[in-house]
Every structure is written in C-alpha cells, then in structure tokens.
Amino acid sequence: MELELTTPHHVTVGYTGVPGGRTFFLQAEDLEVRVTLLLEKGQIEGLGELLGQLLTRVGDEPATDWDHDAMALREPIDPRFRVGQIGFGFDPDAERFVLELTEITADEDDDDAADQLRIWLDRDQARRLAAHAVEVVAQGRPRCELCGRPTGPDGDHVCPSSNGHGRLTR
C-alpha cells in the first residue's frame, strides 16, 4: 500500500499511556482519510529535530506558539503500521515539505512489501509539527545528566556512566 496525503488539514504526533509506558503515534488526516502510524519515542524526537533543521535551512524556524489542543490525536487511534524509516524533503517550487514514512518489515531488502505513507506539509504545518514533536518527547520522564537515559520518578536509575553505582549529586 502506498498512500499520499497532498492536502492534509491535520498532522500531529502524540502518545497514549503514562511516562515510562507511553505508546507514540503520528496521525495525518485530509478530507477523505485519517491515517495513524505507530512510532518509537526516538523517531518522534528525530522527526522534531530534523524537521526543525530543515526549516532552518529554508529560512524558517519551528513554531513558538500554536494551538496545543488542535494538535491532539483524534479517535480512533488505530495504527495501520509500525514505522521503520522516515524521510524528509522540501520542494522549493511548491514551498512544501514532504514526510515519507515506511513500514518496518521482517525483510529489509524487500521495499515492495513495505507500506508507505507520504504527507505533504505547508510551512505552517511543518513549523507546528516540529515544535509539537519536541514538546511531546519532553513530556516524558526526566533524563540523567550523565548518560541521557530516562530516570525513575525519584531520579534513580542504573547509570552506565557511573558504572551503575550511586546517585548523581550536585
């Protein structure tokens, strides 16, 4: 299956669950179809960072103020597939960004077996999506100052940078 949304009116990322047990999604919708895909937290983080870098290259920046409620995931949240690869592009003639998402498959060499979704975004949608992705990731557990891994609610975790011993002190 290859699906392309050329004029989506809703493109967002979000999650269900609580920090430490969240499931992440990307959702896009046009007048005919709503598509929800399953992603990893790192993919959402990379999407926000890379889209922000692409915006900077074309002389724009991620949004600083947007309607957070409008960026919420919409029900039903029924993912079509789990994303393996994410690609970005920019069409300077159309002044639009493209986001390509490819299904993760057991056979990485067989591109024909993988489902694909291509979403075209205008500058404003790209700005909001980049900023919202960064915010969604930041709503998780705090990260260790030494190793960058998520910590528990009390700040404890087994830190490879401290060889698994002791708490971080200031």
Alpha-carbon gap, residue 123 to 112, rounded angstroms:
31
Mean pLDDT of 72-81: 96
Extents of the domains making up the chain: 2-139, 143-170
pLDDT in tens, 134-164: 999 988 887 787 887 777 766 677 787 777 5
Give the residue from 48, 71, 51 showing the smallest Cα distance to 60. 51
Residue type, 86: I
CA 54 → CA 28, 34, 98, 126, distances in Å? 20, 26, 11, 10
Encode pLDDT of 95-115 as tens digits: 999 999 999 987 766 666 799
Q: What pLDDT is attached to residue 86?
A: 95
Q: Which value, to the nearest 10 degrees, does the dihedral of the CA atoms of residues 25, 120, 128, 58 take?
A: 130
Identify the band that residue 167 occupies on the pLDDT scale cut at 50, 70 and 90.
low
**Mean pLDDT for the chain?**
89
How much is the average pLDDT of 11-39?
A: 95
